[in-house]
Structure 1
Amino acid sequence: MKILYHHRIASKDGQYVHVEELSNAFIEQGHELIFVAPSINQKTKFGHDGGIVTKLKKLLPQALYEMLELSYSIWIFIKLAVAIKTFKPDFIYERYNLYQPAGIWASKLFNIPIMLEVNAPLVYERRKYSGLALTWLATKIERYTWQNATHTLPVSRVLADYLIKAGVKEKNITVIHNGVNKHFLESLTPITSHEDKEEIIIGFVGFIHRWHGLDKAIEAIAKHKKKSLKLICIGDGDILPELKQQAENLGIKEKVIFTGLLNRKQTLEQIKQFDIALQPNVTHYASPLKLFEYMAVGCLIIAPDCDNIKEILTDESALLFNKNVKSDFVVKLNCAVEKFNTLINKRFEGRESLNRNSFIWQENTKNIVNIIENKPRDIE
C-alpha cells in the first residue's frame, strides 16, 4: 500500500524510535511510504531536544506558543494536500499531537482514511507536566481530532478509555501496544540461568528524573556489598550529580555506572548485558518502549503493578511492586538480587509473551494494514 506518514516530532528520542521502527516495518513488508514531518531529527544525534521548537516554547508566552502550534497546522495541511495530490496514498498514518487537526482536514477533503496513533492524552499530560494556557481550545481540538479519525490506535487499554470518554466509538478503536523488532528478538541467545555469571547487572534506560526513584535502587545495592552487583543507568537527567554523590557516599561508586546519552545501537548493546531491568515508575497510560526490549533480552523486570503495565506484564513474567507502597520497590529489588537464579521462569515467560501477544513491530504494521483493508469509510 501507499502510506502517507505524518508526525510532528522534532526531537530525537523515544518518540523518534517509535516512528523509525514502525516505518521500517512498513517498508520491510513492501509498502511505500512518504513523510510529512520535520526534517530536523534526521540530521541530529540521539537525545536532540528539538532545537528551535524547544527554545520557542521556553521563550514565548504559553498562550502565544499554543496559537503558533495551531497555526502551524495550516502549513501542514498545505504540505499534506500537495503530498496527497502527487503521491496518491491509500491512507494517512498520523501520530497524534496537540493542536494538530491538519490530518483530519486532509482526510475529509480528499476522502482518504486516516489512522490515528495515540500515545498520550495530551491535554491531560500537558496540563499536569508542562502547563496549558488554552485548555478549552486544546480540549475541543483534541476531541475533534480523535472523533473524526477513521480509526484510532491507542497504545494501551487505559488510553483507549480516554478516547471513549471523549466520544470515540468503540468500533473505531484498536489497542496496539508498542513492541520490539523481530530481527532483534531472533538475534538473541536463549535464556539460561547464568549460574556461571560473576556479576549481576541491574539496568535502567530513560531520562533520569527524581520520580524514577533510582536513589532507592542505589540504597538497595549498597546493602548487598558482598554480592557482585553493578547498576548501569543509560540516559541523562538533572539529578545525576546527586545520584553520583549518593553512590560515592555509600561506598559503591564503582558499582554504579552512568553512561549518559547513547545512540540507539549502543543502547541495545547495553540492554543485552542487563540481568535485572528497572521500570521504577511510569505514566498510567503509557506503553514503555524499553519494557519490550527488556522482555526480549530476558531480563528479570521490576515494574509497578498499574493497569497499563499489567496489559503487558503479569506476576508470571515480572516482579510487580505495589506503586502505593513506597518500600515495595526496594523489597522487589532485594528479592531479584537474592533469588535471581531461581526466578528464571519469569524471564522466560517475559520473552515468550512477546510473540504470543504480538508485541512485535512487524505484527503491529500487519494489524494496521489489515484494519484499513477491512474498514469501510463510515465516520459518522
Structure 2
Amino acid sequence: MKILYHHRTRSKDGQYVHIEEMIDALRDQGHEVIIAAPPSAEKESFGADAGMVGRLKRHLPKFIYELMELAYTVVAYRRLRKAVEEHRPDCLYERYNLFLPAGIWIKRRYGLPMLLEVNAPIFEERARYDGISLKRLARWSQAYTWRNADYVLPVTEVLGDIVASYGVEPGRIVAIPNGINMKRFDDSAAAHSAKSALGLGGRLVLGFTGFIRDWHGLDKIIDMIAQDPPGTRRHLLIVGDGPARTALERQASRLNVTDRITITGIVPREEVARYVAAFDIALQPAVVPYASPLKLFEYLALGKAIVAPRQPNIMEILTDNKNALLFDPDHRDSLSKAIGRLCADANLRRTIGENARRTIAEKRLTWHANAERTAQLFKNLLGHA
C-alpha cells in the first residue's frame, strides 16, 4: 500500500519515537510511506523542543497562539493536497493534534480511507495544564476530527472511552498501545556490566527514564533513599532531564544524598538501553490516567522488575505480582512498600523481570505488530482480503 502519513509534531522527543518507529515498521513490511509534516522536525536532535513554535506558545497570548494553530491548518491542507496529487496514496494515517482538521478535509475531498492515531485527549490535557482560551472552538475541533476519521486508534482502552464520549461509535475505536523495537534492545549489556560502565558497581539501582516533571513523584523516591541507614546500596538513576531536575537536585543536597542520586540529562535515543540495563528496579511512579508510557515498554523489553501505579490504563499491560508490582497511588506508603519488597527479594525481582520480558511477545507489544494491525485496518477499508 501507499500510505500518506501526516503529523504536526515539531519536537524531537517521545512523540517522535512513536512517529519514526511506526513509519519504519510500515516500510519494513513493504508499504510505501509518504510523510507530510513540518520540515523542521527532521533536522532536530533527539530531546530538542519545538524551537520557535515552543517560544511562541510560551510568550504569545493564548487566543493568538490558538488562532495561529488553526491558521496552520491551511498550510497543512496545502501540503497534504500536494502530496496526494503527486503520489496518489491509497490511504491517510494521521497523528491527532488540536486545531488540525486538515486531514479530514483531505479525506473528504479525495475519498481516502483514514486512520487517526490519538495519544491524548489534547483538549482536556491543555485545558487542565496550560489553559485554553478558545474552548468552544478547541472542543469542536477535537470532536470534528475524532468523529470523521474512519477508525480512531487510541493508545489505551481508557483513552478509547474518552473518544467514545465524543460520539464516536465503539466499532470505529481500536486501541493500539505503544510498542518497542526489539532490535534496539537485543545487544543490551547484563546488569552488572552496565552498572560498572556507569560507576554504579555494587549498587541496587532504582531507575527512571523520561522527561522529568513534578508530578512524576521522584521526590518521594529521594525521601525514601534519605531514610536508608549509612552504607546502604540503594541508588536512584534518573535517565533524562526536565523542569523538575533542579528541584530534585536541591532536595538531594538538602538531605545529604547527592552521592546516591544520578541524573544523566538528555541521553541519545540509541544509548537509552545501556542505561536501563543497569536498573534493578524500574520505576513508573506516576502516570496520567489515559497514557501508554513508552518507558514501560523499554522496561518490559529489558526484563526489569517494574513498580507502577495500580490504575486501569497501566493494568491493560501489567498484572500485579506477575510482570510488575503495582501500588495504590492513593495510599501514601504503597509505593515505598512495593519498592522495599523488591529490594529485599532478589528472586522476586528475577521472576517479575522474566515475566516482564515475556509480556512483549505474549501481547505483541512491538511497533512491527502495531504496523500489521494498522495495515489490516486499511485493507479492511479498501476492501482487500
TM interval, short-chain normalised: over 0.9
Contact 2:143 2:166 (C-alpha < 8 Å) held by counterparts: yes
Q: Give yes or no for the alignment of 1:208 onto 2:230.
A: no
Please state how far the C-alpha of 1:28 moved relative to its aligned partner.
Answer: 1.2
Q: Deviations over 1:173-200 (max 9, x none)?
A: 11100011132354457999x9xx8322
The reply on whether 1:220 has 2:224 as its aligned counterpart is yes
The 2-side partners of 1:285 and 1:142 are apart by: 16
d(CA) in 1 for partners of 2:280 and 2:222? 16
1:177-196 counterparts in 2 under 5 A?
Answer: 177-188=177-188
Q: Which amino acid aligns with 2:358?
A: E
Counterpart for residue 365 of structure 2: 359
- Residue 271 of structure 1 and its aligned partner are, at CA, apart by 1.2
Q: CA deviation at 1:207?
A: 1.8
Runs of at least 5 residues in structure 1 that lack an aligned partner in the other structure: none
Deviation at 1:234? 1.6
Is the 8 Å Cα contact of residues 180 and 359 (structure 1) preserved in structure 2? yes
Cross-structure match for 2:198? none
Q: 1:209-259 CA distances to partner (integer Å, 9 max, x unpaired)?
A: 222111211122233343322211122233323322332333332221111
Q: TM-score of the superposition, structure 1-length normalised?
A: 0.94
- Match of 1:167, SS state, is coil
Q: Partners in 1 of 2:343 and 2:223 — Cα distance?
A: 13
Match of residue 25 from structure 2:
25
- The separation in 2 between residues aligned to 1:213 and 1:345, in whole angstroms, is 26
Q: Distance in 2 between matches of 1:36 and 1:238?
A: 31
Q: Give me the whole-angstrom Cα distance separating, in 2, the residues matched to 1:151 and 1:143.
A: 14
**Pairs within 5 Å for 1:262-277:** 262-277=267-282
Q: How far apart in 2 are the matches of 1:340 and 1:214?
A: 23
Partner of residue 126, structure 1: 126
For the Cα contact (< 8 Å) 1:209–1:237, is it kept in 2? yes
Aligned to 1:36: 36
Asked if structure 2 preserves the Cα contact closer than 8 Å seen for 1:178 and 1:288, the reply is yes
Give % identity.
41
Q: Whole-Å Cα distance in 2 between the matches of residues 237 and 107 of structure 1?
A: 38
Match of 1:168 in 2: 168
1:1-380 correspondence to structure 2 within 5 Å = 1-188=1-188, 198-224=202-228, 225-315=230-320, 316-375=322-381
TM score, norm. by length of structure 2: 0.93
Per the alignment, in what secondary structure is the counterpart of residue 375 of structure 1? helix
Whole-angstrom distance in 1 between the partners of 2:152 and 2:27: 21
- Given that residues 275 and 298 in structure 1 are in contact (C-alpha distance below 8 angstroms), is that contact kept between their aligned partners in structure 2? no
In structure 2, what is the Cα distance between the partners aligned to 1:185 and 1:256? 25
* Contact 2:2–2:89 under 8 Å retained in 1: yes
Q: CA deviation at 1:323?
A: 0.8
Query: Contact between 2:3 and 2:89, CA under 8 Å: does it hold in 1?
Result: yes
Unpaired runs of at least 5, structure 2: 195-200
Aligned-CA RMSD value: 2.0
- Aligned-pair CA distance for 1:160: 0.4
Tell me the distance in 2 between the aligned counterparts of 1:216 and 1:257: 15
Distance in 2 of aligned mates of 1:249 and 1:286: 33
Code of the residue aligned with 1:22 in structure 2: it is M
SS in 2 for 1:260: coil
Q: d(CA) in 2 for partners of 1:312 and 1:29?
A: 25
Per-residue displacement from partner, 1:82-109 (whole Å, max 9, x unpaired)? Answer: 1001111111110000000000100110
8 A Cα contact 1:209 1:238, kept in partner: yes
Q: Shift of residue 45 of structure 1? A: 1.8
For the Cα contact (< 8 Å) 1:284–1:307, is it kept in 2? yes
> How far is the alpha carbon of 1:370 from its aligned partner?
0.7
Rounded to whole Å, the distance in 1 between the matches of 2:190 and 2:148 is 45
